[in-house]
Structure 1
């Protein structure tokens, strides 16, 4: 465990012990393979040294919401927020077991995964309706942000009046165009990052302390 992680753990314990502030439950939502679990793992690892779950190139690897509690994030200005991170399954309008066959899975396993992923999406939507205090909405900045599922999800989040940060992920890729995401959703803050490499995550942490505190 590196020095920065140990230092952040000490800060987290200090703040939890002395301030006992209300936790905010923050859901990481977005379409499949946008990088939600990669970001969740980075947040948890940066501030606690732990992780949330495995990542995979196979869509819908996360088929159930996974939560990590009591994470204290501190910005450079000294603001802090205590959150539970909820890593949710990729939200989509249709899950076809043939998607999994393309990755070499047997038909029985593909059908099982498609069923679990469908149930996971329903669970994620239930969380959004009843148990989420704020949202990080993840988008792959190499993809078209105007997909139907994104418009639908942002509309649902807005209807619930939840604070939302839109993350334009994968800026390390040569065809990334985070400005398209800014143009698609100008009403919300958009933070371009590389969840894989960690580029610009400090700006995301700063915005989280502003929005979710």
Structure 2
């Protein structure tokens, strides 16, 4: 019964997304830790509302709870799309408190942060399965995209029939390799950008309006 119930619920959610008359869409920003998700979320929010969503940090798992910015209206080429941006915690298969010790945290704080980060991963997965209408998947273009986490998440997104854009972030860095990301996920369009420097944001907004409008 549990399997049939899950299938029925999944079909119901898919139908709700397909036939929804509400133009407000929840777009989740997903990806591994330190890919630049919050930097991108803040860039989008500031450009169109004047306000940031949350603090940015070089410390992994700084975002430990999903944060939402509502009514972000993006206007491009005569088209307008109104979205709620959901900045989610970085998804990983394991959170090790030793990661935080490398940033001069006390052990007690590191353990607490790792526990909160683990809870954040669970929350991000809940949002993905239940509460988003589309996904912006952010990858650090200086890292190898062929990982278990990326393959798993993109597979889940596809199984949910969610529209997805893959953003190859950090093109301002010398080690950036966008082609590697394009080759990893050729079934999806990849848009290159630097959320930190604001490079190629015009194309980013064009694609958001096109995919989620």
Normalising by structure 2, report the TM-score: 0.89
Superposition deviation, residue 80 in structure 1: 1.5
Structure 1 SS opposite 2:139: strand
2:51 counterpart of 1:47: no
Distance 1:174 1:58 in 2: 21
Task: Tell me the residue number matched to 2:136.
Answer: 136
Structure 2 SS opposite 1:52: coil
Task: Tell me the residue number matched to 1:38.
Answer: 39
Equivalent residues in 2 for 1:1-213, closer than 5 Å: 22-75=23-76, 77-213=77-213
* Structure 1 segments of 4+ aligned residues over 6 angstroms from their partners: none
Distance 2:201 2:33 in 1: 21
Distance 1:29 1:93 in 2: 14
Superposition deviation, residue 201 in structure 1: 1.1
**Contact 1:145 / 1:181 at 8 angstroms: preserved in 2?**
yes
Q: Deviations over 1:168-192 (max 9, x none)?
A: 0000000100111011111111000
Distance 2:104 2:164 in 1: 36
Superposition deviation, residue 202 in structure 1: 1.0
Instruction: Structure 2 unaligned segments of length 5 or more: list them.
Output: 1-20
**Contact 1:28 / 1:138 at 8 angstroms: preserved in 2?**
yes
Distance 1:74 1:181 in 2: 28
**Contact 1:89 / 1:117 at 8 angstroms: preserved in 2?**
yes
Q: Deviations over 1:179-211 (max 9, x none)?
A: 110111111110000000000011011001110
Superposition deviation, residue 30 in structure 1: 0.3
Measured on the aligned residues, the alpha-carbon RMSD in Å equals: 1.0
Superposition deviation, residue 162 in structure 1: 0.2
**Contact 1:21 / 1:82 at 8 angstroms: preserved in 2?**
no
Distance 2:196 2:205 in 1: 16
